[in-house]
A and B are shown apart, each in its own frame.
Chain A
């Protein structure tokens, strides 16, 4: 990485953002999470059989624009969100953080994740995969403009629903 890249954004800054996000999501501080998202954020979970597909032509598991993502948060905070009530306990491990490209105020970054999800009755699931982020610098802060969570599992199978924020 040349000096200009390093000046624009450091891996440490990106890591800090990802770790902060993980903490917010694991502690269900969902309104605070919205504050680190760009206004036109997109949140994508591709289907397990087409991890690199485009959501405009392919049926995804989740493909939220910013309007629907805000509705998703309203839903997740509602006790009538039965799939997440009581809320799952989750713990995210974020590793292999890399800044992969910088173009103007846009930063592309990736990270591996392992998310453990626990529910009553002994249910333990592990969602493993890679995040691909598009980050934008807005008012000096890095904000999440696109967030793609790609699962390594061949099918959801025993993972069941993706009812929490992956």
Chain B
């Protein structure tokens, strides 16, 4: 990038995030949601340096299984090679660039480039070049395999890539987010969760960072999700804040800093959990089954840990762009910018591998009460973020977003405060200034 066109070269003269702890103010410049320069810098500062989610091991059951997708702005093949190892290859022919795998998913014996016919093994090595004898002696087939991403590591079956060879290892990077991933995975008796078939892929005409905020912002629930709350009320779920509590929602949740820019909500449940808190929406005949799931949790984890798994929700952000919402059901939600004012979202459902047919059906039903492009809540989030983006057209006139909610509280931040949102923005700002 030509630095002369970058007005943010000097961070001190043109700060993007301004925090003043003594004045208890926290502002984000709206320009960060509309500027192409900011987006280009985010690519270098965040997506080329952070651990970026690629996929879940359960998506690749057998040798040869593959999924094509985008990660960190690159076309990726996420696959299991013939020896059973999970790999992450760049989906671009070493010859002249075409993608060598064009299907969404499947099982491959090899990857074939339709342009000139180069063929690669599933581990990425180059297998066949038509008319190979025409290449000069310097052409070394063993060095012409598909490019493997520089770093590729997993935590509890969640696989991430990193384009920074010098990055800390994934487990170090995840910091306090590990504990919350563990709480999600502990729902499975064997510690094995799986991505359930059926993917939701949709665009939002809004900056990608708005979905980070929205995914963990519980302040918006009452206004944005009034119809979902109404649905819960109609179904016999108690959604009323306790009298005199001063709370906006039925339980007192918190917003937490997990280190390295990761953050989560941590909320006592009121909206039901397939593992394992019954609500009337599930129907009377599900009660005994939910009790049994809970009994298994208690036997395996003890009362305290079981209560943590079963009775609390968490909306977790793994910095910068992975969200795991463990609420009405579990969704793994990944999103990336395609323009300053547009993002592409991919969302999956996650569940324990041991679930019975009835349990799986209940999990999926619970998912759709809230999440997804046809759910009772997500479409209103999309509408909210697109409205926000429209409002940002006046970014020169109305320059700042206010994220000071909860700053005067000495105790821990509520889920309806903005303390956890500030965690994201501080880390974002730090990395952006380093890359300036």
- B203 near A158: Cβ-Cβ < 8 Å: yes
Give bound CA distance, A48 to B200, whole Å. 8
Say yes or no: A157-B202 contact (C-beta < 8 A), given A59-B197, A162-B374.
yes
- B231 near A75: Cβ-Cβ < 8 Å: yes
B191-235 residues at the A interface, CB under 8 angstroms: 196-205, 224, 226-228, 230-231, 234-235
For the complex, is A2 an interface residue (Cβ under 8 Å from B)?
no
Most chain B Cβ neighbours within 10 Å, of A46, A72, A74, A161: A161
Give bound CA distance, A80 to B245, whole Å. 25
- For B197, what are the chain A residues with a Cβ–Cβ distance below 8 Å? 50, 53, 57-59
- A59 near B199: Cβ-Cβ < 8 Å: yes
Give bound CA distance, A72 to B374, whole Å. 10
- B367 near A71: Cβ-Cβ < 8 Å: no
Stretch of A61-69, A96-104, A110-118 lying at the B interface: A61-69
- B379 near A71: Cβ-Cβ < 8 Å: no
Give bound CA distance, A39 to B367, whole Å. 24
- B231 near A47: Cβ-Cβ < 8 Å: no
- For B21, what are the chain A residues with a Cβ–Cβ distance below 8 Å? none
Say yes or no: A161-B202 contact (C-beta < 8 A), given A57-B360, A59-B367, A83-B379.
yes
- A74 near B230: Cβ-Cβ < 8 Å: yes
Give bound CA distance, A47 to B195, whole Å. 14
Q: Given B199, B368, B380, which contacts A49 in the complex, CB threshold below 8 Å? A: B199
Give bound CA distance, A7 to B309, whole Å. 58
For the complex, is B357 an interface residue (Cβ under 8 Å from A)?
yes
- A68 near B369: Cβ-Cβ < 8 Å: yes
- For B203, what are the chain A residues with a Cβ–Cβ distance below 8 Å? 156-158, 160
Chain B residue at minimum C-beta to C-beta distance from A57: B360
Give bound CA distance, A56 to B363, whole Å. 9
For the complex, is B88 an interface residue (Cβ under 8 Å from A)?
no
For the complex, is A78 an interface residue (Cβ under 8 Å from B)?
yes
Give bound CA distance, A59 to B357, whole Å. 13
- A48 near B201: Cβ-Cβ < 8 Å: yes
- For B204, what are the chain A residues with a Cβ–Cβ distance below 8 Å? 160
- B360 near A78: Cβ-Cβ < 8 Å: no
Say yes or no: A62-B382 contact (C-beta < 8 A), given A50-B197, A74-B231, A78-B226.
no
- For A62, what are the chain B residues with a Cβ–Cβ distance below 8 Å? 368, 374
- For A81, what are the chain B residues with a Cβ–Cβ distance below 8 Å? 227, 380
Q: Given B202, B231, B384, B390, which contacts A156 in the complex, CB threshold below 8 Å? A: B202
- B104 near A49: Cβ-Cβ < 8 Å: yes
Q: Given A53, A78, A162, which contacts B373 in the complex, CB threshold below 8 Å? A: A162
Chain B residue at minimum C-beta to C-beta distance from A155: B201
Say yes or no: A63-B365 contact (C-beta < 8 A), given A155-B202, A160-B373.
yes
- A159 near B198: Cβ-Cβ < 8 Å: no
Q: Given A59, A68, A72, which contacts B200 in the complex, CB threshold below 8 Å? A: A59
Give bound CA distance, A61 to B202, whole Å. 11
Q: Given A48, A53, A71, A155, which contacts B235 in the complex, CB threshold below 8 Å? A: A71
Give bound CA distance, A121 to B383, whole Å. 13
Q: Given A63, A72, A83, A121, which contacts B382 in the complex, CB threshold below 8 Å? A: A83
Say yes or no: A83-B383 contact (C-beta < 8 A), given A59-B348, A59-B349, A75-B231.
yes
Chain A residue at minimum C-beta to C-beta distance from B347: A59
For the complex, is A89 an interface residue (Cβ under 8 Å from B)?
no
Q: Given A60, A83, A160, A161, which contacts B198 in the complex, CB threshold below 8 Å? A: A60
B residues engaging A (CB < 8 A)?
104-105, 196-205, 224, 226-228, 230-231, 234-235, 344, 348-349, 357, 360-361, 364-365, 367-369, 372-374, 376, 378-380, 382-384, 390
A residues engaging B (CB < 8 A)?
45-50, 53, 55-65, 68, 71-72, 74-75, 78, 80-84, 121, 154-163
Nearest 3 pairs of A and B residues by beta carbon: A59-B198, A83-B379, A62-B374
Known A60-B368, A62-B374, A71-B376; 13 more pairs at CB < 8 Å? A48-B199, A49-B104, A49-B201, A50-B198, A57-B360, A59-B364, A61-B373, A75-B227, A80-B230, A156-B203, A160-B202, A162-B374, A163-B373
